[in-house]
Amino acid sequence: MKKIGFLTAICLIVFSANVISQPATTLHFTGGYSVALGDMKGDFGSTRATFTVNPDSNTYFLHDGFTFGMDLKFAPNHKHKGFKIMGGIHYNSYSQGAQYSDTSGSVVIDYALRIFSITIGLDYSLETKTSKINPYVNAQFTTNFFSGSYDETYSDGNTTNLTLKAATRFGLKFGGGVDIPLGRRLGANIGISYNMANLLGKQSEADYGAQYNLNDKEGTVDNKKFNNRIINYLNISAGFTLYLGL
């Protein structure tokens, strides 16, 4: 009986050492891979002559990029820590390039689109007091600030440099993942999110000078027709979590 009691006590001590109470406040730092979807995804034409009239001329000519960001989650009710208010800042960057050659020479095209987002929403954690892998899901409203550039460099040394006119759009973000506690104050995080970046605020307008526009609203401007364009993307990320309040 003494041996059984001793072993039971040891097991309880070991088990208790691995139990991390559900934190009321967490801070997440993540980075990873970003995939262009919807009308973001597209290709340049195979020749210079078809660059602006290729089958993807209504897209943003992008494929993939990178992302990094930070999220803060806070449980206002400590008796129900699974429900949290969350907010964050995130940055996504995409680039695409091409080179065309003909009898008159060659041109190298470098094109980039960047999205800085401020998010706010709700998070629900499925973790328990004894969880070792803590899954979560969330939904957020996003404010997205677009910037970008388009550059052409010719073989004779001439260049054309254009800048995307700053644009703001509003959207939604749905995500989920798992948080893996590594200790009382530190964890690892793996997540995925689906972003719809321009649900609200679409606009199309004429380009001016060295600036071009996002032009995502259907309509006609200066006899030029624009189609409705959907800016969606997928983020796959990993990082670490700080447990600030237990």
Full domain range(s) for residue 225: 2-245
Based on C-alpha coordinates, what's the Rg of the chain? Answer: 24
* CA angle centred on 193, ends 190 and 199, rounded to 5°: 165
How far is it, in rounded angstroms, from Cα 34 to Cα 192?
10
Alpha helical stretches, state H, the chain: 2-18
User: Is the Cβ–Cβ distance between 188 and 178 less than 8 Å?
Assistant: no
Q: How far is CA 233 from CA 66, 82, 118, 136, 230, in A?
A: 11, 27, 16, 20, 10
pLDDT value of residue 169: 98
User: Is the Cβ–Cβ distance between 17 and 213 less than 8 Å?
Assistant: no
Question: pLDDT tens, position by position, for the chain (246 residues)?
Answer: 444 444 444 343 333 334 455 678 899 999 999 999 999 998 887 777 666 555 556 889 899 999 999 999 998 877 766 789 999 999 999 999 888 887 778 889 899 999 999 999 999 988 766 667 889 999 999 999 999 999 989 888 889 899 999 999 999 999 999 999 898 889 999 999 999 999 999 999 888 889 989 999 998 888 888 889 999 999 999 999 999 865
Count how many domains the chain has. 1
How far is it, in rounded angstroms, from Cα 159 to Cα 151?
7
CATH number of the domain to which 158 belongs: 2.40.160.20
How far is it, in rounded angstroms, from Cα 102 to Cα 128?
65
pLDDT value of residue 246: 59
pLDDT value of residue 239: 97
**How many other C-beta atoms are found inside a 10 Å radius of the C-beta of residue 39?**
19
Alpha-carbon torsion, ordered 218, 193, 81, 131, to 10 deg: 160
